[in-house]
Chain A
Amino acid sequence: MTELAIDIEGLTFAWSENRPVLDIPHFEVRPGERVFLRGPSGSGKSTLLGIVSGVLAAGRGRVCVLGEDLGLLSGGRRDEFRAAHIGLVFQMFNLLPYLSVMDNVLLPARFSAVRRGRAQPDPATEARRLLDELGIATTRSPARLVTELSIGQQQRVAVARALLGRPELVIADEPTSALDSDARDGFLRLLMAECSATGAALLFVSHDTALGGLFDRQLSIDDINRARPQLEQS
Chain B
Amino acid sequence: MKPLVGLAARSLWNRRGSAALTVFAIAISVMLLVGVETVRIGARESFARTISGTDLIVGARSGPINLLLYSVFRIGDATTNVSWQSFELVSRHPDVAWTIPISLGDSHRGYRVMGTNGDYFRHYRYGNRQALAFAAGMAFEDAHDAVIGAEVARQLGYGIGDEITIAHGIGEVSFAEHGDHPFRIAGILEPTGTPVDRTVHVSLDAIAKIHKLGPGPAGITAFLVGMRSKDSLLQMQRALNEYRAEPLTAVIPGVALQQLWQIVGVADRALFLVATFVVLAGLIGMLTSILTSLRERRREMAILRSVGARPIHVFALLLLEAGLLALAGVVLGITAAHAALASMTRLLAGRFGLFMETGGPGVYDLLLAGAVVGAAILAGLVPAWLAYRNSLADGLTIRT
Contact = CB atoms under 8 A, between A and B. Distances in A.
A116 to B, nearest CB: 11
A53 B308 CA distance: 10
Interface of B: 3, 7, 10-11, 13-14, 299-300, 303-313, 395-398
A111 B308 contact: yes
Nearest to B13: A98
Given A93-B303, A98-B10, A111-B313, 17 more contacts: A50-B395, A53-B396, A75-B310, A76-B312, A79-B308, A83-B308, A88-B306, A90-B306, A90-B398, A93-B398, A96-B303, A97-B14, A107-B304, A107-B307, A110-B3, A110-B307, A112-B308
Interface of A: 46, 49-50, 53, 55-56, 75-76, 79-80, 82-84, 88, 90, 93-99, 107-108, 110-112, 115, 161, 173
B2 to A, nearest CB: 9
Nearest to B400: A93
Contact of B11 (A55, A80, A98, A161): A98
- The listed residue with most A CB atoms (<10 A of its CB), out of B307, B310, B312, is B307
Nearest to B12: A98
What's the dominant secondary structure at chain B's contact region? helix
A108 B307 contact: yes
A93 B303 CA distance: 9
Nearest to A91: B398
Contacts of B313: 111
Given A79-B305, A80-B308, A111 B14 contact: no
Nearest to A84: B308
**Top 5 A-B pairs, shortest CB-CB distance:** A83-B308, A98-B14, A111-B308, A55-B395, A79-B310
A93 B308 CA distance: 17
Contacts of A76: 310, 312
Nearest to B2: A110
B396 A94 contact: no
A95 B3 contact: no
Contact of A95 (B10, B303, B312, B397): B303
Contacts of A108: 307-308
Contact of A96 (B300, B310, B397, B398): B300
20 contacts: A53-B306, A53-B396, A55-B395, A75-B310, A75-B311, A76-B310, A76-B312, A82-B306, A83-B307, A83-B308, A83-B309, A90-B396, A93-B299, A98-B10, A99-B7, A99-B10, A110-B307, A111-B309, A112-B308, A161-B307
A82 B308 contact: yes
Contacts of B3: 110-111
A76 to B, nearest CB: 6
A144 B398 CA distance: 25
A50 B313 CA distance: 19
Contacts of B311: 75, 79
Among A50, A56, A96, the most chain B Cβ lie within 10 Å of the Cβ of: A96
A82 to B, nearest CB: 6
